[in-house]
Chains A and B, each alone.
Chain A
């Protein structure tokens, strides 16, 4: 199975700050990388897929980049509604997820 290593595991940031979360796969996943947002109420949303494609409805302040084994999610200016836990997921079966990054307000 492909292991996904996400960092950091938690992050404190201020409103308006630029935030970056990283994800490293144990092997090349050829850009088949998605990012999800999970809020405290349990809701989960797809934000980014295929490394950098913004899911319709996701705010444009979210962007993704990367290639090979290394990928990142960036929030260009943190808003209060972005407080959540973020997960990366690779697209080869068996599909695996990162351990999550809990984003908190500083």
Chain B
């Protein structure tokens, strides 16, 4: 059974940094592109970015690429999202997702999500 379990969320002050993790199981992690997607309190779904199966390529939403960094550790089957200089508009539930067959494919599995609240 495919499982994606996010962690690292919580309350963070504006301007701070935060790193989310996602531990994957039930599939060969190193075979799949992975992505992060977030849902704002207003229920808007927003794609954050992707990382290729070997970590050699990343692609980000233009509005986020200067502050967010996606990485992975295939030996640990773990995906990361480094968030820097966070803003109130980054308050959201963050989902770790797997891509079905590559970078342009749908998100076929989603974690349960982890909440991030940016507030002073």
Residues of chain A touching chain B, judged by Cβ–Cβ distance below 8 Å, are 32, 34, 36, 42-46, 49-50, 55, 85, 87, 89, 91-97, 99-100
Contacts and interface: CB of A to CB of B under 8 A. Distances in A.
Contacts of B95: 44
A92 B61 CA distance: 12
Nearest to B110: A44
Contact of B45 (A32, A55, A87, A94): A87
B46 interface: yes
Interface in B32-54: 43-47
A93 B105 contact: no
Contact of B100 (A36, A43, A46, A94): A46
27 contacts: A32-B104, A34-B107, A42-B112, A42-B113, A43-B110, A44-B95, A44-B113, A45-B110, A46-B106, A46-B108, A46-B109, A49-B100, A49-B105, A49-B106, A50-B106, A55-B108, A91-B105, A93-B59, A93-B103, A94-B61, A95-B47, A96-B47, A97-B45, A97-B46, A99-B43, A99-B44, A100-B43
A91 B109 CA distance: 16
B43 A46 contact: no
Contacts of A42: 93, 112-113
